[in-house]
Structure 1
Amino acid sequence: MLIKRKSIEKEESQRAPRKAAAPRKPKYSAVTLSEHDGMRYLHFGTEWIQGAMRLRKPDWIELEYVQQMMSWMLFLEQPTHVAQLGLGSAALTKFCYRQFPQTKVTAIELNPSVIAICETMFKLPPNDERLQVKEMDAYDFVNDPANLETLDVLQVDLYDANANGPVLDSAEFYRSCAACLKENGIMLVNLFGDHPSFHKNVKAMDFSFGEVVNLPELPDGNVIAIAFKQKQKFD
């Protein structure tokens, strides 16, 4: 069974003659489920696993690369605001919400079906004063002036059903991500080490972050990039 990465599908904007650009019309992949040996898996109509949950431990993080997306805990003890771009099976969202009771958690997901299935099948709690799951484009979120320098941690996992590299991967996108972080903020991005998009993404991050460190590639090919807004001094 393949365990790779998750995300949202690319969007196409349409422009009518002599009129303003038409609203974006996303083309969503089918959201499907499978279960095996006490695990429930999220798919986008393919065998690629977009998220997982152990039925007996719904708030635990099962996939190794998702566990590594929490490696910011080595550098920050008590963040005030953590955000995820790409909900997947809500593993990161649930874990941050449960384990950091003083932290605001925001998750951004474009596909309403993903949000709905996380609520019904993956034990995603309802929105409250600390938790906000928003149906919107991740690009729009990071470019919203209201989010400027508001985040301690940004976890980015944006893949579509084809898993051909992150959906958002430009230098402009990562510059906007950096702008959303506080002075000592950290961004973590799920990449795929043997894919041509890997070096493109790392190079794009280098333009806007003080330090970018890649964790060792996992057996399934995932590489977690840790991007620090400020230059770091490691022992």
Structure 2
Amino acid sequence: MRTSKKIALAPATMSEFDGVRFLHLDSIWVQGAMRIRKPQALELDYIKRMMAWMLWRPENEINQGHAVQLGMGAAALTRFTHKVLRMQTTVVEINPSVIAACRAWFHLPDDDKRLTVLNTDAAKWVADDANLQTVQVLNVDLYDQDAASPVLDDEAFYAGCHRVLDDGGVMTVNLFGRDASFARTARRVAQIFGSDQVWSLTPTKEGNTILVAARGVQVPDRDTLERRAANIESRFELPARKWLRMVRPLPQSIINPAS
């Protein structure tokens, strides 16, 4: 969200069902989830797919570098990069009640030498020169209580995301793939990152589509991708071979709609 507009931040609330705890922003929409007995595991399908960046990282670098989440949700990605991958992790969240809820209900640890939680505006963070090319992995999931569309979704924001990524860095963005806005957002990202550096996964049954964008990554051959996927499944118990079957380059109808 942009702080230039004075907006009311919805309070974070919680519900539980069948062993899963859900985060809400004072509405019925789910903003994140955690299986209570397995807090480090990724529960929601779209959150698992946001880890598809792992396919674009060399095996010896897969859990190295700085991982940043813009939008905390229920801190699932934060817990995973910090506790499981043991990466340097920063999370940027504008709503203080979300941070408090994650610490009270969703096993978000206190800050330490590898974890920094910032209560600030994601747009300001990506525009800060201090963060220029400091990030290897960027996860973007910025929705408010209406969950209608990303609250930051313009060219300036995605240009900021590109500038904070280091060479070889990868970004994943949660979008609604069946929404008319998906093509517009994907086109914006492709214009900034380059059409050969942007891919998407097929939508989840709920309609979430993960967009993947990289900064200067040479796409590996199929054998390398399959080896990486097998390694990810073996080490981290994530469905990486399934991701590989879902990944598609952006179609020309999105990149050049007038052609």
Opposite residue 213 of structure 2, the aligned amino acid is A
What root-mean-square deviation, in Å, do the aligned CA atoms of Structure 1 and Structure 2 show? 1.3
The residue number in structure 2 matching 1:223 is 209
The residue number in structure 2 matching 1:59 is 40
Deviations 1:96-147 (A, max 9, x none): 001222x210000000000000001000010011100100000010001000
Deviations 1:148-189 (A, max 9, x none): 000001000001111121111111110110000001010100
Cα distance in 2 for residues equivalent to 1:217 and 1:209: 22
Change (3 A) 1:46 1:66: same
Number of residue-to-residue matches in the alignment: 215
Answer yes or no: is the 8 Å Cα contact 2:40–2:84 preserved in 1: no
1:88 aligns with 2:88: no
What pairs with 1:138-217 in structure 2 (closer than 5 Å)?
A: 138-210=122-194, 211-217=197-203
Structure 1, unaligned stretches of length 5 or more?
1-9, 14-23
Opposite residue 97 of structure 1, the aligned amino acid is H
The residue number in structure 2 matching 1:105 is 89
Deviations 1:13-37 (A, max 9, x none): 3xxxxxxxxxx64411131111001
Structure 2, unaligned stretches of length 5 or more?
222-259
Opposite residue 61 of structure 1, the aligned amino acid is L
Answer yes or no: is the 8 Å Cα contact 1:166–1:197 preserved in 2: no
The residue number in structure 2 matching 1:7 is none
Relative to its length, the structure with more helix (as a share) is 2
Deviation at 1:11, TM superposition (A): 4.6
Opposite residue 38 of structure 1, the aligned amino acid is G
Opposite residue 42 of structure 1, the aligned amino acid is L
Opposite residue 31 of structure 2, the aligned amino acid is Q
Cα distance in 1 for residues equivalent to 2:75 and 2:21: 12
Moved over 6 A (4+): none
SS of the aligned residue for 2:145 comes to coil
Answer yes or no: is the 8 Å Cα contact 1:151–1:180 preserved in 2: yes
Cα distance in 2 for residues equivalent to 1:50 and 1:219: 16
Give % identity.
45
Deviation at 1:231, TM superposition (A): 5.3
The residue number in structure 2 matching 1:120 is 104
1:78 aligns with 2:63: yes
